Amino acid sequence: MKFDVNVLQYLSKDDFRVLTAVELGMKTHEIVPADRVDQLARLKRGGCYKVLKNLLRHKLVHHDSTKYDGFRLTNLGYDFLAIKALVNRGVFVSVGRQLGVGKESVIFEVGTEDGTILAIKLHRLGKTSFRAVKSKRDYVENRTHFNWLYLSRLAAKKEYAFMKKLGEEGFPVPNAVDWNRHCVVMSLVPGYPLVQVKEIQNHDVVFETIISQIIHMAEVGLIHCDFNEFNIMIDDNEKVTMIDFPQIVSTSHRNAEMYFDRDVECIIKFFRKRPSFSSIEKSSDYDKVLAASGFTRKDQEEIEKITQTNELNSESGNDSEATDESESSDDESEATGEALNERSLPDAYIEASINEMELLHVVDQHES
Ligand code: ADP
Ligand code: MG
């Protein structure tokens, strides 16, 4: 999603008044009748329709005339109301790049007055979750009338409350800064979601840390319910931060045990996929394998010697072929990268390989 915050600056007081009137109207109407918007907005100099047209142009409201002439907020319109409220409150002053997109949210960087970068999460409980949520009493309590605005706001309220509480209890979570409508403001978590991390150095430590978080949470009566490699952030020092709390349930929930087991299982499954190098117990070593194969340590040293020379050559830019290629465009050299490496192998290496192959062939014949 492209987020043009510049539009914020162009919106007048009247624009926001009318936008808020549409929001207010949506408490009772899925599509708010145009004259109802006018009534609620009570613009001093009139002209509600003109304002609505402007909001429509910026895609902040949606026009629907199937049953009657009416309007509803778009996601963007709701985003702007929340952002405007938080900016007015001085929580942040600018909105930057998109950091992530989840199942039911979008995350952006925001900047504060003193230059600190924070993160905002805009909840988007759309039509799919709308259906699913009907059965989740945690979200909707006893309200009979609800809509996506209400649900998204409730998700944000819950997420903020739990993030704050977990932080106070010493759990590794983002610092909960503030919230408004469907928007949660929190500290920026360094690093990446676990799912994007290629290699974990301290595999066992990270695994233990994560599992112990699940246990500690249960000890304070909570289950995350969506604890997996997408909702665990890990930084360069392999410090773990958990995120994403709208679906937390209590350990007294009737399905608590199932949710707990599922969280644990997700983590175990993820870590099981990645054997850790340091935990491998060797039953044999390279030299023994070598000795049995007929390919000697001396042969290996020869290869290392040649490849090392090759590496040194390409590092110092001595490779004449590579220098020739450097004149071609970037795109081209990228495309021919593989061929280039092959060609830059010194002849001696290729010769050695051929000899090696012949040698192995002889050994094979000899043994059979
Ligand atoms: P959803 O509920 O939609 O899954 P998440 O809270 O999991 O949303 O956030 C989605 C993604 O956004 C995360 O996987 C992560 O990449 C990024 N993200 C969320 N919160 C932060 C944060 N505080 N700092 C940095 N990145 C974040
Ligand atoms: Mg998530």
CATH of the domain at 197: 1.10.510.10
Residue of minimum CA distance from atom 3 in ligand 1: 102
Chain mean position to CA 233: 9
1 within some domain = no
Q: What are the pLDDT digits (tens) for 183-223?
A: 999 999 999 999 999 889 999 999 999 999 999 999 999 99
pLDDT of 125: 82
59 within some domain = yes
pLDDT of 330: 42
pLDDT of 103: 80
Whether residues 183 and 98 fall in one domain: yes
Ligand 1 atom closest to residue 102's alpha carbon, by position in its atom list: 3
pLDDT of 225: 94
| Contacts (Cβ under 8 Å, ≥6 apart) of 334 | none
pLDDT of 64: 95
Catalytic residue among 15, 38, 178, 226: 226
Residue of minimum CA distance from atom 25 in ligand 1: 189
pLDDT of 315: 61
83 within some domain = no
Q: Which helix (H) or strand (E) holds 156?
A: helix 148-168
| Contacts (Cβ under 8 Å, ≥6 apart) of 256 | 223, 249, 250
pLDDT < 50 regions, the chain = 127, 130-131, 133-134, 136-145, 319-364, 366-368
Cβ–ligand 1 distance for 82 under 6 Å, the answer no
User: Scanning the structure block, which residue is given the tokens 């500690």?
Assistant: 216
pLDDT of 274: 67
At residue 97, φ and ψ (nearest 5 deg) are -75, 160
82 within some domain = no
79 within some domain = no
Decide if 226 is catalytic.
yes
Using CA atoms, how far residue 93 sits from 90, 97, 177, 302, 365, in Å, is 7, 14, 14, 62, 77
Last-in-domain residue among 73, 101, 126: 73
End-to-end alpha carbon distance in the chain? 65
Ligand 1 atom closest to residue 187's alpha carbon, by position in its atom list: 23
Structural domain that includes position 333: 288-367
Residues 267, 217 contacting (CB under 8 angstroms): no
Residues 273, 240 contacting (CB under 8 angstroms): no
Chain mean position to CA 142: 32
Structure tokens given for 303: 């290869």
Last-in-domain residue among 223, 254, 281: 281
Whether residues 201 and 274 fall in one domain: yes
Whether residues 123 and 194 fall in one domain: no
318 within some domain = yes
**The domain spanning residue 173 has which CATH number?**
3.30.200.20
Domain count, the chain: 4
Using CA atoms, how far residue 211 sits from 149, 233, 260, 265, 364, in Å, is 35, 14, 11, 10, 51
**The domain spanning residue 38 has which CATH number?**
1.10.10.10
84 within some domain = no
Whether residues 148 and 210 fall in one domain: no
Cβ–ligand 1 distance for 105 under 6 Å, the answer yes
Whether residues 209 and 274 fall in one domain: yes
pLDDT of 264: 96
CA nearest 60: which of 130, 145, 3?
3
For residue 368, the SS3 value is: coil
Cβ–ligand 1 distance for 103 under 6 Å, the answer yes
Of all ligands present, the nearest one to the C-alpha of 227 is 2
pLDDT of 317: 53
Chain mean position to CA 269: 20
Last-in-domain residue among 188, 222, 248: 188
At residue 229, φ and ψ (nearest 5 deg) are -65, -10
Does this complex have an ipTM over 0.95? yes
Residue 276 C-alpha to ligand 2 middle, in angstroms? 26
Whether residues 61 and 112 fall in one domain: no
pTM tops 0.90, yes or no: no
Residue 267 C-alpha to ligand 2 middle, in angstroms? 14
User: Scanning the structure block, which residue is given the tokens 């699940």?
Assistant: 214
Residues 270, 231 contacting (CB under 8 angstroms): no
How many other C-beta atoms lie within 10 A of the C-beta of residue 209? 16
User: Scanning the structure block, which residue is given the tokens 């996601």?
Assistant: 75
Residue of minimum CA distance from atom 13 in ligand 1: 100
